[in-house]
Amino acid sequence: MSVNIQDIQEPIIGEMVEFEKKFRQFMKSNVRLLDNIMGYIVKRKGKQLRPILVFLSAGLTGEINESTHRGAALIELLHTATLVHDDVVDDANYRRGFFSVNALWKNKIAVLVGDYLLSKGLLLSIDNDDFQLLKIVSTAVKEMSEGELLQIEKARRLDITEDVYYEIIRQKTATLISACCSVGAASVGSSKDTIARMHLLGEKIGIAFQIKDDLFDYGTAEVGKPLGIDIKEKKMTLPLIFALNQATWMQRKKVIFMVKNQNENPKKVNEVIEFVKNSGGLEYATEVMNRYIKEAREILNTFPESEFRTSMDDLITYVIERKK
């Protein structure tokens, strides 16, 4: 039986409805242009996995309160700021099937909008003395930037080992999911030990989430990102790293040359995809993903049974079963 987002939200549905209203208020501006852009951003938001994680983590470890709502808003504000800036960096015209902010309002405005969202998040925390939440989320944003830069540095030489790969995805993807779980726990006054356990739970979920994303690059399903896009962008993903480790010196040299110099040629990209498939790269990555999911469940099961724990378990299932 497949899990959907509506089922996962069941125990926090009231909180999510309330959050929608509050979040729109948090984003308000007296500058009409900015307010129009904020309205556009709110309208095109995705599945809201991150606020869901914050509320489920808070419910799992205590009583959801106003601090939880502010924590979820802080995560969304800072995460949205990074996405707006990412689209400028990547020169991307679309995000989740909608025009990006820079496509509609140009780069200069998009950068300023990202700065505005960042400062709104900082002020929301400072005005309410949510310093612990601010520290958790600021650390995550710092690590996300470091992860992106480490990936860019390594893409130049394509010399990524499996260990470096895990470090990149821990920083790039898992750190924000860890922050969601930590913020949820911290917002309800949890102990340091509980916050640390929730952080580790988020990290395991986040790494599995990214490996699933890597696997989409080799599939034929319609997943919202083109087939082989990671290869075209010279990203060394787990299936490719594994396949290269199994290859002969000559094979390895040939594949790295194709990724580095022929990544715009669809025929060569398909050759790399076939090479990875034939080397067992997909099976290996799936096995690793399932190991992280198992470890996440082991941490989750250290918490008492509740509807929040059930929903969090469903969310873990969703991460590996999602189609995009």
> Domain holding 192: CATH number?
1.10.600.10
Count structural domains, the chain: 1
Tokens read off for 80: 């949205």
Q: Give percent above pLDDT 90 in the chain.
A: 37
pLDDT of residue 35: 79
In the three-class reduction of DSSP (H, G, I as helix; E, B as strand; rest coil), residue 95 is classed as strand
pLDDT of residue 296: 96
pLDDT of residue 303: 94
- Supply the angle between the helices 192-216 and 49-61 in degrees, to the nearest 10: 150
pLDDT of residue 223: 45
Domain around 295:
5-321
pLDDT of residue 218: 80
pLDDT of residue 96: 61
Spatial neighbors of 140 by CB under 8 A, at least 6 apart, are 78, 175, 176, 178, 179
In the three-class reduction of DSSP (H, G, I as helix; E, B as strand; rest coil), residue 190 is classed as coil
pLDDT of residue 242: 92
Asked if 300 and 312 count as a contact pair (C-beta separation under 8 A), the reply is yes
Residue 132: count other Cβ atoms within 10 Å of its Cβ: 17
pLDDT of residue 224: 46
- Enumerate residue ranges in the chain where pLDDT < 50: 220, 222-225
Angstrom distance (rounded) from CA 209 to CA 228: 18
Segment holding 99, helix H or strand E: strand 98-99
Q: Which whole-number Å values give the CA distances from 23 to 41, 74, 135, 145, in the listed order? A: 11, 9, 20, 25
